[in-house]
Amino acid sequence: MPYIVSVNNQSYSIEIGEEKRNVTIEETAHALDWRQIAPLAADAKGNVSAGGRYSLLIEGHSYEIFARRITKADEKDSQTYEILVGGQRFEVKVEDERTRLLASLAKSSATGDATVQAPMPGLVIGIPLTEGASVTQGQTVAVLEAMKMENDLATPLSGTVTAIRVNKGQTVNQGDVLVVVEGE
**Helix ranges (DSSP H) in the chain:** 97-105
Q: What is the pLDDT of residues 100-140, one digit of tens each?
A: 666 655 544 445 788 888 878 889 999 999 999 999 988 99
Class of domain 108-183: mainly beta
User: For the CA atoms of 80, 158, 113, 3, what is the dihedral angle to 10 degrees?
Assistant: 20
| Of 64-73, 89-98, 107-116, 175-184, the least confident | 107-116
Q: Please work out, in degrees rounded to the nearest 5, the angle formed at the alpha carbon of residue 161 by the alpha carbons of 159 and 163.
A: 145
d(CA 2, CA 167): 30
Res 43 pLDDT > 60: no
Sheet holding 106-107, edge to edge: 106-107, 113-117, 177-183, 159-164, 134-135
Domain 2-97 has CATH 1.20.58: no
d(CA 44, CA 49): 12
pLDDT of residue 76: 66
> The pTM is what?
0.50
d(CA 30, CA 64): 17
Res 168 pLDDT > 90: yes
Domain ranges of the chain: 2-97, 108-183
- Share above pLDDT 70 across residues of the chain, in percent, rounded to a whole number: 82
Contacts of 92 (CB under 8 A, 6+ apart): 5, 6, 7, 80, 81, 82, 83
Res 38 pLDDT > 80: yes
